[in-house]
Structure 1
Amino acid sequence: MTGEAVISVRDLWKVFGHKPERVPRSAELSALSRRELLDRTGCTAAVREVSFDVAPGEVFVVMGLSGSGKSTLVRCLTRLIEPTSGEVVFEGEDILAAGPKRLRELRRRKFSMVFQHFGLLPFRQVVDNVSYGLEIRGAGRAERTRRAMEVIDLVGLDGYEHSYPDQLSGGMQQRVGLARALAGDPDVLFFDEPFSALDPLIRRDMQHEVIRLHREVGKTMVFITHDLSEALKLGDRILIMRDGKPVQCGTGDELVGAPADDYVRDFVRDVPRANVLTLRWIMRQPRPDDVMDGPELGPDVIVRDAARAVLAAGKPVKVVKDSELLGVVTDAEILGVVTEAGA
């Protein structure tokens, strides 16, 4: 990760129940499993000992199965749910120390959320739904309409600005929600399983839309999902959670190439490895009999994208970064991944 972190989370806990603050303070209680803790204290640790940083412009994905704590976590980051203990620092500011007035200011100007349920105002046209946050800020009508039209165009809703939500498909309604989040020009966008209720084809289109928007506007994004394929498609890095605890955090190729435990290994078992792994995961050291006058590729090229060039070369392809030879890749390494089950 490069650059100073936009968000830094340290040892974050969210415990529900009677006297929740005692759990993270006690080494004995904090060591109990979720079931043991519930049986002994009546408390549920929805988020426990979570730490990570999010870099400027990064798409950071938090994923896990239902009950893993991922949605509770993202709500703790914005204090829609109050954390029990820990630290959340946003652009150098301790979010947990912010008073109600400062917190409202942060939510209006610094970060926005996109939820699974669109929450659109049914009796307002698209342009007024999109500009609602600016209206709350006190922006004049001309200014908020101008900005709303900019982001309506950005998310591909040009021509629908005077439609009402019930006249739009689910995917288009979610675009309105996305435009509303973008209208205030926040530093960070939080997505809490925004596409879960959409049909598969519409969901895929919205995933591509997020990728396109990230490429165009470069916003830092924290994206919550239970879908591994969605996480791999969108995330620069992915945090996998289980029972409220972080299991592994890394890039998609790190999770697939070097799973931290059997839980992650099972999670990524059916992922087509050739679509995720890069050449750095399959390259080998040159041998004395290698013909070293073949083409060059970078170590971060995905195996699937490199396959044609490597198979056509008929000789070792050099894996090079900054003029340094890191290794070579041949037909054998490529076919070893491409022909794996599920690839």
Structure 2
Amino acid sequence: MSEKIVVDNVYKIFGSHPEKILDLIDKGHTNEQILEETGHAVGVAGVSFTVEEGEILVVMGLSGSGKSTLVRCINRLIEPTAGKVIVDGVDVTQLTMDELLHFRQKHFGMVFQNFALFPHRTVLQNVAYGLEIQRVDPNTMRDKAMQALTQVGLKGWESNYPSQLSGGMQQRVGLARALALDADIMLMDEAFSALDPLIRRDMQDELLDLQERVQKTIVFISHDLDEAIKLGDRIVLMKDGRTVQVGTAEEILTNPANDYVARFVEEVDMTKIMTAESVMVKPSAIAYFKSDGPHAALRKMQKAGISSIFVRRDGKLIGMVTADDVAKIIKTDAKTLESILITGMQTVTRDTPAIELFPILAGINYPLAVVDDDGRLVGVIIKGSLLAGLAEGMQTGGAS
């Protein structure tokens, strides 16, 4: 992947002489001190991070952390006091207003918390609004708007008005409006916060499903850690306008940067965050279909102290054999493992959530194989390694 957005040392100070406050921040003055001494409010203070193309980056923090101010600095709905925002190699902070308007139309779609729909316009007219501003041909405008409505599951509702829709459906209209512009970057500011919990979870699922199809670059603002964990490829955690930690959910949960982050994440259920890769162990022995016969396979199992062994052929996992079965065919002078090879056993991928591993392990009497996209064995999970991995994750993550 390549860098789509680079946020480089961005500041936003609210007040009559914001540029004079930068030195105070650099000297370590707190936001409260600056407000009391100068009357200026620090919105964002020296934030830097990158967003990869096709990534969902969640910027999260509590109220007042600066996350919503930051996302508006990216498309200059709020003018940064200092720093750079580079999108596809273009420094957005250096564009003239005419250039900025054109750049926004091409690159940015935005979805707000309050839906921001026009009550007197139909669903189709709301979705087409951005295209209308761009003076797109009416037929093309309708086609693009209908395509966007279809993407969010609202085909057939185009003639309705916002008041006739549920909250979740209204938010889908807002999402469709952004999609209709065909912008490659989606800025979503607390997009699901106004929805009821069940609808909110449905919208999160729908966004993930949609992202698999459209592969936009998404900066998603949230105050909800569970939402950030569910949606984010990576998370930027903010406090008092500053970046506290940047990383994947697992990195933040298992290796918090400081006590604030540890306290922030301590109530999280680690089984929902940790993955098979976190708790798998290296196979203690492997049998090779082409070269290992029954005697070699049995010797490997005896030496490793295991009662079954996975079998590979041409680098890929093709099955497993048990010590009991191997012992039986040795008596028949069999030369290969083919007659006792157990195929079709349960496997998981590296990113399978740990919480899903418990019922799988409960239903099998052999170690659980972890494979990559090419079917290669990359690790195994046994109940002991799963429990040990989770215990270690909880300790390093600061959970009580």
TM normalised by structure 2 equals 0.78
| SS of equivalent residue, structure 1 residue 89 | strand
Matches within 5 A, 1:7-156: 7-24=5-22, 26=23, 29-156=26-153
1:230 to 206, 217, 227: 227
Once the 2 structures are TM-superposed, how far is the Cα of residue 30 of structure 1 from its aligned partner? 4.5
1:274 to 250, 271, 275: 271
| SS of equivalent residue, structure 2 residue 309 | coil
Partner of 1:206: 203
Which amino acid letter does the alignment assign opposite residue 8 of structure 2?
A: R
Partner of 1:215: 212
Once the 2 structures are TM-superposed, how far is the Cα of residue 190 of structure 1 from its aligned partner? 0.3
Measured in 2, the distance between the counterparts of 1:124 and 1:28 equals 46
Count of residue correspondences = 340
Partner of 2:185: 188
Structural RMSD (CA)? 2.6
Contact 2:123 2:161 in 1 (8 A): yes
1:307 to 317, 335, 358: 358
Once the 2 structures are TM-superposed, how far is the Cα of residue 52 of structure 1 from its aligned partner? 0.6
Q: Which runs of 5+ in 1 are unaligned?
A: none
| SS of equivalent residue, structure 1 residue 81 | coil
Which amino acid letter does the alignment assign opposite residue 251 of structure 2?
A: E
Measured in 2, the distance between the counterparts of 1:14 and 1:193 equals 20
Deviation sequence 1:284-335 (CA, Å, 0-9, x none): 5677855372577554332123334445555555656689987653212323
Deviation sequence 1:100-139 (CA, Å, 0-9, x none): 0111112222111100111111211111111111111111
Deviation sequence 1:11-51 (CA, Å, 0-9, x none): 11111123211232x26654222122223332222111111
Once the 2 structures are TM-superposed, how far is the Cα of residue 215 of structure 1 from its aligned partner? 1.0
Identity value in percent: 45
Moved more, 187-196 or 297-306: 297-306
| SS of equivalent residue, structure 1 residue 293 | strand
Q: Which runs of 5+ in 2 are unaligned?
A: 285-302, 311-319, 321-346
| SS of equivalent residue, structure 2 residue 118 | coil
Partner of 1:333: 385
Moved more, 314-323 or 177-186: 314-323
User: Measured at CA, do residues 210 and 327 of structure 1 come closer, stay the same or move farther in structure 2, by a change above 3 Å?
Assistant: closer
Measured in 1, the distance between the counterparts of 2:122 and 2:380 equals 58
Which amino acid letter does the alignment assign opposite residue 187 of structure 1?
A: D
TM normalised by structure 1 equals 0.90
Contact 2:24 2:34 in 1 (8 A): no
Contact 2:123 2:157 in 1 (8 A): yes
User: Measured at CA, do residues 9 and 175 of structure 1 come closer, stay the same or move farther in structure 2, by a change above 3 Å?
Assistant: same
- Bigger Cα Rg: 2
Which amino acid letter does the alignment assign opposite residue 63 of structure 2?
A: S
Once the 2 structures are TM-superposed, how far is the Cα of residue 269 of structure 1 from its aligned partner? 1.5
